[in-house]
C-alpha cells in the first residue's frame, strides 16, 4: 500500500519547521529518518495532511561535548553517527555499547537518535537508555522551548509529552558520576531485531565499594521504557555480590509489565529480564570497581 496523499514540505531552518507545525498542528507530522514513519504511512496507520521533512535542517544534527563532562546530541543525528562517535564512547559508553543492537546498519544509517526517542516504541533501545542515563530533552515550539526529563517524557504506549506543534530538537546526556560503570544486555530473535527483553544498568560505587547509585532501565518490559525502582533499591547502600545481584533481579520482576505476543510469553520475558538484569548489573558493577581501582 502507498501512503494517503499529503503535502510535502522541507524547510531548511528550525524556525521554518516550527512555523509549519504551528500552522498545521495535529494535521502535520515531522519526518526524520523515516525508518518508522514511512511504514506507518504506508500502512495508513497515520494520514497526516502535511509532512514536514527535517532532513535539510543541518543545525539539528551533531554531537558536542558539554562543559562538565556531558554530551549534547542533536535530534537529527543519525544513530550510526552516534554509534561511531569517539565523544559518545568516552562520555556515554552505555550508548556506544547499546546502539549496535538498534536494528541493522542500513537502518541506523538513516534512523535518527531523536526519531527513535520521539517514536517511543516500547521495544526500542534508545528510550530506555535515556532513562538509565537520566537524559533531558529540549522541546521547541514557535517562540518557546522547554526542557523535559526523559522520565517525564514517556507517558504510555507510543506516547510522549510532545505536543503536536513541538519538535524534539536536542538531547542532553549528563556526565556519569565518578565511580560509575554501565552495561547493556538484550536478547532478540536475530541480532538487529527488536529486543524480546533488554536491560541497561548504571552502577556507581563509592570509595569503599558500596553501591551509591543504581539505575536500571528496561526495553520491551511494559507499555513504555521503564526504570526498575525495586531492583535499584535492593542494590543501593549495599556491597554488590552475587547474592545481592540475584535479589535485585528477582525484585525487578515486580517493576516490569511484559506482555505475551507471537514472539514470547510473559513467563519467558520475565525470566529473560531476571537473567539479563543479573548480567547487566554484575558487568556494570565490575566496570565501576575497575574505575575505582584504576
Ligand atoms: P521517523 O521514522 O522519521 O519518525 C518516527 C516518529 O517520530 C514519527 O512519528 C515522527 O513524526 C516522530 N519524530 C521524528 N523525529 C522527531 C523530532 N525530532 N521531533 C518530534 N517528533 C519526531 N528501532 C530500535 O530501537 N530497535 C530495533 O531493533 C529496531 N529495529 C528495526 C527494524 C526494522 C526492519 C526497521 C525498519 C526499523 C527498526 N527500528 C528499530 C526503528 C529505527 O530505529 C527507527 O530509526 C526509529 O524508530 C525512528 O527513527 P527515525 O529517525 O527513522 O524517525
Whether the CB-CB separation of 177 and 154 falls below 8 Å is answered with no
Distance CA 90, CA 13 (A): 31
Look-up of cell digits 504506549: 157
The pLDDT assigned to 292 comes to 59
- The model's pLDDT over 148-162, given as tens digits with 9 standing for 90+, comes to 999 999 999 999 999
Atom of ligand 1 at shortest range from CA of 112: 51
State pTM to two decimals. 0.97
Whether the CB-CB separation of 80 and 88 falls below 8 Å is answered with no
What's the CA-to-centroid distance between 235 and ligand 1, angstroms?
34
Q: Is 35 in the pocket of ligand 1 (CB under 6 A)?
A: yes
The pLDDT assigned to 191 comes to 87
The pLDDT assigned to 1 comes to 75
Give the residue, by CA position, lying nearest to ligand 1 atom 8: 37
Q: Is 222 in the pocket of ligand 1 (CB under 6 A)?
A: no
The pLDDT assigned to 293 comes to 57
Q: Is 273 in the pocket of ligand 1 (CB under 6 A)?
A: no
What's the CA-to-centroid distance between 14 and ligand 1, angstroms?
19
DSSP string over the chain:
--PPP-EEE--SSHHHHHHHHHHHGGGEEEESS-TTHHHHHHTTS---SEEEE-TT-GGG--EEEPTTS-EEEETT-BHHHHHT-HHHHHH-HHHHHHGGGSS-HHHHHH-BHHHHHHHT-TT-HHHHHHHHTT-EEEEEETTEEEEEEHHHHEEETTEES--TT-EEEEEEEPPPPTTEEEEEEEEESSTTSPEEEEEEEEEEE-TTSBEEEEEEEEESSSSS-EE-HHHHHHHTTSB--HHHHHHHHHHHTTT------SS--HHHHHHHHHHHHHHHHHHHHHHHHHHHH-
Of 247, 271, 249, nearest to 260 (Cα)?
271
Q: What residue ranges of the chain have pLDDT lower than 70?
A: 292-294
Q: Is 136 in the pocket of ligand 1 (CB under 6 A)?
A: no
Q: Is 249 in the pocket of ligand 1 (CB under 6 A)?
A: no
Pocket test for ligand 1, best of 6, 29, 119, 137 (most atoms within 8 A of CB): 119
The pLDDT assigned to 291 comes to 73
Whether the CB-CB separation of 214 and 201 falls below 8 Å is answered with yes
- The model's pLDDT over 222-255, given as tens digits with 9 standing for 90+, comes to 999 999 999 999 999 999 999 999 999 999 999 9
Amino acid at each position: 500500500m502507498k501512503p494517503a496523499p499529503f503535502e510535502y514540505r522541507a524547510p531548511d531552518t528550525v524556525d521554518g519547521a516550527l512555523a509549519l507545525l504551528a500552522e498545521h498542528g495535529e494535521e502535520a507530522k515531522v519526518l526524520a529518518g523515516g525508518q518508522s514513519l514511512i511504514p506507518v504511512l504506508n500502512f495508513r496507520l497515520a494520514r497526516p495532511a502535511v509532512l514536514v521533512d527535517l532532513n535539510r535542517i543541518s543545525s539539528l544534527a551533531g554531537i558536542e561535548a558539554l562543559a562538565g563532562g556531558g554530551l549534547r546530541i542533536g535530534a537529527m543525528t543519525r544513530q550510526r553517527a552516534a554509534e561511531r562517535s569517539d565523544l559518545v564512547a568516552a562520555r556515554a559508553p552505555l550508548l556506544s555499547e547499546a546502539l549496535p543492537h538498534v536494528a541493522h546498519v542500513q537502518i541506523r544509517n538513516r534512523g535518527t537518535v531523536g526519531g527513535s526517542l520521539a517514536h517511543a516504541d516500547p521495544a526500542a533501545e534508545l528510550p530506555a537508555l535515556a532513562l538509565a542515563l537520566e537524559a533531558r530533552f529540549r522541546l521547541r515550539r514557535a517562540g518557546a522551548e522547554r526542557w523535559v526529563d526523559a522520565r517525564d517524557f514517556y507517558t504510555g504506549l507510543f506516547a510522549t509529552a510532545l505536543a503536536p506543534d513541538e519538535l524534539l530538537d536536542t538531547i542532553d546526556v549528563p556526565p556519569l558520576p565518578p565511580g560509575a560503570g554501565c552495561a547493556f544486555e538484550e536478547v532478540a530473535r536475530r541480532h538487529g531485531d527488536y529486543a524480546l527483553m533488554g536491560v541497561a544498568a548504571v552502577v556507581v560505587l563509592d570509595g569503599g565499594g558500596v553501591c551509591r547509585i543504581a539505575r536500571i532501565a528496561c526495553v520491551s518490559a511494559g507499555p513504555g521504557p521503564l526504570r526498575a525502582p525495586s531492583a535499584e533499591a535492593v542494590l543501593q547502600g549495599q556491597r554488590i555480590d552475587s547474592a545481592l545481584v540475584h535479589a535485585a533481579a528477582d525484585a525487578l520482576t515486580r517493576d516490569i509489565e511484559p506482555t505475551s505476543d507471537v514472539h514470547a510469553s510473559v513467563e519467558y520475558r520475565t525470566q529473560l529480564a531476571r537473567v539479563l538484569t543479573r548480567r547487566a548489573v554484575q558487568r556494570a558493577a565490575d566496570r565501576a570497581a575497575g574505575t575505582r581501582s584504576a
